[in-house]
Amino acid sequence: MNESVGFIGLGIMGQGMARNLLQAGFELRVWNRTPSRINELLAAGAIPANSPAELASQCNIIIVCVSDTPDVQAVILGENGIVHGAQSGALVIDTSTISPRATREIAEQLAQRELHMLDAPISGGSEGAANGTLSIMVGGEIAQVERAMPVFSAMGEKITHVGGAGAGQMVKLVNQILVVGNALAMCEALIFAQAGGLDLEKALAAVSDGAAGSWMLTMRGPQILERDWSPGFTIDLQQKDMRLALAAADELGVPVPITSMAFHYYRALQAQGLGGDGNHALIKAMERLAGIEVRASR
């Protein structure tokens, strides 16, 4: 493998992605704003860096996986950011979910320094990150996508080049609109089933493989029945993505009423201090409206 790889951002998704790169045989340098999060990866063979700039000076491909647009801007363009260390021709891959407009602006600034960028947001939750089964939607130049394929293949199963700079972020927002729409439908259906006196485990089994089936229902429906709110993706992160989707929809003049409804349910849960719960805890807001709690029959 001729490319040396760096990874910035070792949170709920980044940990699994970085570990899969190590297991695929890449020499991996890592940096995280909270240093303690790199310890397990160091034990697995990763090499620490003291800053994004230092990491970039030692890597041809630099992967970023942080929370929001300002975080990406900071680690790429800010003080001690990637641009202050990266060598001409290096490739920055941003797997975060951020503003499509900001992505295009960052890509332009990198291009002025003879640096390449791909926006490559991910879907599949912490399970997909850990198992290397993520879906990755990629925006940018096809030559750089081909260059990055060994890296993408170590982290995901479904890698799709969807267009130029910013297109990956737009497709990710399409994904998130679908995610919350599915989540709302799932929660509404489970409350309906609970009110109707059904055995919810049998009801889930009956519908999951038919036309009503979805990843959300299969993966998160059983968690709801067990009242297990451990996150594959947190409410706080989901809400950040909804904010991005609503802002982009506003720019486009497109009505997105289901997404808006989910945003306000999530805001109510955040106000109750539940932002760290898994995004399927959406049902708690709907349960409060209905006066019904959903749980397994046993």
Q: How many residues does the chain have?
A: 298
DSSP percent split of the chain into helix, strand, coil, nearest 5: 55, 15, 30
Give the residue carrying structure tokens 């130049």: 141
- For the record, the structure tokens of 209 come out as 């493989």
Q: CA distances (Å), 41 to each of 7, 27, 82, 156, 175, in order?
A: 11, 12, 21, 19, 30
Question: Residue 172 catalytic?
Answer: yes
The helix/strand/coil state of 208 is coil
List 172, 202, 240, 284, catalytic entry: 172
Nearest-CA neighbor of 65 among 79, 54, 76, 53? 76
Nearest-CA neighbor of 63 among 106, 102, 31? 31
Nearest-CA neighbor of 219 among 192, 191, 182, 188? 182
Could you list the active site residues? 172
